[in-house]
Each structure stands twice: as structure tokens, then as C-alpha cells.
Amino acid sequence: MVNAEPKRAGSVAPHLDQLKGRHRMKRIVLLAAIPALALGACSRNAQEQTEQAGNAIAADASATTRNAASDVSSATDEAFGKAERGLDRAGDHIANATDRAGRAIDRGADDAGRAISNGADRAADATGNTLEKAGRALKD
């Protein structure tokens, strides 16, 4: 038995449905590929921006470190300068105090020498007077 119905109408319709399905699939693939390509381009752009941001952060961190080191160095220099000036002033005060003490000792020694000299003069005068009295008493 042969089928009397024409195969044309029945065979064309499933074939057209398959073509439509493939055409839809191609559209879906193309539509999915466009955002994927855009995302890939964005990813490169994002990667470049991320790299630039990383470089900027690294440069800022490096500059901050250099500035901090410079600030520490300046503060250290300033502290040493103040300490040095303080020691110089202390040395000056010590030298001045030593000079004043030396002058006071000299004055004291001079005063003691004058007192001794005056005492020796008075003792000599007293001794001379006593000898003169003894000599006069022997004479008389």
C-alpha cells in the first residue's frame, strides 16, 4: 500500500520548523555572543583601569613612605639640634660657674694672703716692740 497523501505538504512543514529552530538558535548564539564580546572588552578596560589604580595606589604609598621617612629624618635632626643646643648652653653655664668659682677662690686666697700678711706684720711689730722693751729694760 502506498500512501495516497501527498508527501510534499507534510515533509515541508517539519523541514521549515527545523530551519526556524536553527535560525532561532543562531540568533540566540549571536545575541549571547554580543554581550560576551562587550564583557570581554569591558574586562580588558576594567583590567587596565584596575592596573592604573594599582599603580596609582603603589605610587601614593611610595610617596607617603618617602614623606614619612623625610618627616622622621627632619624630626630627628630637629631633636638632635635641640639636644645639641641644650648641651652647649649647659656647657656654657658650667664654664661660667667654674669661672665665677675660680674668681671667688682667687678673692678668698687674696683675702687670706692679706690677712696672713697683716697678721705676720702685726706679729713682727709686736715682737719688735717686745725686743725693744727688753733692750731698754736691760739698759736701765
pLDDT in tens, the chain (140 residues): 445 544 544 454 555 555 555 556 666 666 666 666 565 666 677 777 778 887 888 888 888 888 888 888 899 999 999 999 999 999 999 999 999 999 999 999 999 999 999 999 999 999 989 989 888 888 87
- ∠ CA(13), CA(19), CA(25), 5° rounding? 140
Q: What is the rounded distance in angstroms from the CA atom of residue 67 to the CA atom of residue 31? A: 53
Q: What is the rounded distance in angstroms from the CA atom of residue 65 to the CA atom of residue 63? A: 5
pTM of the predicted structure, to 2 decimals? 0.42
Q: What is the rounded distance in angstroms from the CA atom of residue 53 to the CA atom of residue 44? A: 14
